[in-house]
Homo-oligomer: A and B are copies of this chain.
Amino acid sequence: MIVIMKPNVNEAKQQQLIDWLRGMGIGIHISKGEFRTVLGLIGDTSKVDMELVASLDIVDSVQRVSETFKCCNRKFHPEDMVVEIGDVKAGGGNFAMIAGPCSVESEEQIVSIAKAVKASGADMLRGGAFKPRTSPYDFQGLGASGLELLRIARQETGLPIVTEIMTVTDLPLFEDVDVLQVGARNMQNFDLLKELGHLDKPILLKRGLANTLKELLMSAEYIMASGNEKVILAERGIRTFSDYLRNTLDLAAVPMLKELTHLPVIVDPSHATGIARIVPPMALAATAAGADGLIIEVHNDPPHALCDGAQSLRPEEYDALAKKVRAVREVIK
């Protein structure tokens, strides 16, 4: 940690700060400049309250230089992490196509969509059984029976299944789910993250609507620090002052995250935009930006979908898009 003092501060006050820091067992390297002094703190500075020091009237600013994220830091893991879900791989040059409806609605619905997206080259099936909804009066998902229908669709197609878990107490129901998704609203539900860290199962961690990249990485760190390294990150749009689109898809997060971490980074253009006809250009853009995969909503009958029909592609639209995605992948390699 580097503490930059204000110019010409009272020497006694400065010494008091130094003594207090040394009292916590911190080594201090003092560097006197022409006008001001810079303190270099050495040792375990995690116990030093950075904001408190910054708020002292003799201190100009404070900067933490040791890395706060470790398990997910590419500096310590230069090689791409490859997350394996059965035969499917994400990361390390492997592109994962995840597709399916927002909500599981019926056996016929989920099986037919699963078959369609598989035919278009999808690697995994998504579908919500437990749905986080802003209003308590909106459809909350089929719950456990929705998970059962996903299992049937998996049996019929061989596609691994990806679905959202909302609370620790539901964990037993998700035992044979292939990938557990943590939704944007739960990105900082730390108790849930810790529990998922005890599993040996891939976790798809979505970025929260107002979370920085660093906070996303720290949430991945919660899972990994508990022992589970199989984390896939997902950018799904952030909240801004946007007028025509639901959220703002932050695609520059993709190359930036891939520089900071060795974890795979995928993109969800469906939730980010909320408009089906904007999904294909954003899916292609995400691919060109270097994403490790895409998670896209597909519904066989968008007007009758129980949730988010407005952002779902029809199977034939998904098929056309998947072809273009593969072509872009070829070109940017």
On whether the beta carbons of A167 and B188 are closer than 8 Å, the reply is no
Docked complex: A41-83 residues within 8 A CB-CB of B? 42, 46, 49, 51-52, 54-55, 60-61, 63, 65, 68-69
List residues of chain B with CB within 8 A of the CB of A287: 288
Q: A214 contacts B243, CB within 8 Å?
A: yes
Q: Does A266 contact B (CB under 8 A)?
A: no
B49 and A65 form a contact (CB under 8 A): no
* Chain B proximity mask over A229-257: 1 for CB below 8 Å, otherwise 0: 00000000011111111001111111110
**Segment from A27-35, A116-124, A150-158, A173-181 that makes contact with B:** A27-35
- Besides A20-B303, A135-B221, A249-B250, 13 other CB < 8 A contacts? A46-B138, A52-B303, A52-B305, A136-B194, A136-B222, A170-B191, A185-B190, A240-B240, A242-B250, A248-B250, A252-B273, A284-B288, A331-B331
By a beta-carbon cutoff of 8 Å, the part of chain A in contact with chain B is: 2, 4, 20, 29, 31, 33-34, 36, 38, 40, 42, 46, 49, 51-52, 54-55, 60-61, 63, 65, 68-69, 132-138, 166-170, 185-186, 188-192, 194, 208-210, 212-215, 218, 221-222, 225-226, 238-245, 248-256, 259-260, 272-278, 281-282, 284-290, 302-303, 305-311, 324, 327-328, 330-332
